[in-house]
């Protein structure tokens, strides 16, 4: 097992099928980085939550975890709620370095891909 982990963080939904894309991203990461601990965590309505995933990873001896918000828009959850949750993780598990990445919707590469998809040109 790696000393590092990636946590894909998303909002959550009552619909159990909603999480399929997040799980697919986690599977793609695991295929590209065998041995890396990859988990999904959710703000609400879907389990597990971030605190549960963080406790599991800390218990496994992970030294560094990168939290990647899978949000297209950066609203209150990404600006306020998530940083507060990460601050709590830092207090609860100080032996782990918790890195909070920017939301995927702020990455120009994703924005370019979405534009290409809208034009019907992605993957061609």
3-state secondary structure at position 99: strand
CA distance linking residue 75 with residue 43, whole number of Å:
13
Asked if residue 123 belongs to a domain, the reply is: no
Burial class (CB in 10 A: 0-12, 13-18, 19+), 49: middle
Residue 57 in domain? yes
Per the structure, how many domains does the chain have?
1
Residue tagged 């990461």 (tokens): 29
The domain that holds 102 is classified in CATH as 3.40.50.1400
Tokens 């993957």 identify what position?
Answer: 123
pTM of the full structure: 0.93
Give the pLDDT confidence of 48-100 residue by residue, as tens digits: 999 999 999 999 999 999 999 999 988 787 788 999 999 999 999 999 999 99
Provide the domain limits for residue 105.
Answer: 4-118
* Among 82, 74, 84, 81, CA closest to 104: 74
Q: Which tens digits make up the pLDDT trace of 31-56?
A: 999 999 999 999 999 999 999 999 99
Residue 52 and residue 111: Cα distance in Å, rounded?
31
């Amino acid at each position: 097992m790696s000393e590092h982990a990636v946590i894909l963080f998303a909002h959550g939904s009552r619909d159990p099928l909603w999480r399929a894309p997040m799980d697919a991203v986690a599977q793609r990461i695991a295929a590209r980085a065998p041995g890396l601990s990859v988990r999904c965590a959710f703000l609400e309505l879907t389990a597990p939550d971030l605190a549960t995933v963080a406790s599991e990873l800390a218990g496994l001896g992970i030294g560094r975890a990168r939290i990647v918000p899978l949000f297209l828009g950066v609203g209150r959850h990404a600006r306020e709620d998530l940083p507060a949750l990460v601050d709590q993780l830092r207090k609860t598990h100080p032996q782990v370095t918790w890195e909070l990445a920017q939301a995927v919707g702020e990455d120009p590469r994703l924005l370019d891909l979405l534009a290409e998809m809208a034009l019907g040109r992605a993957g061609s």
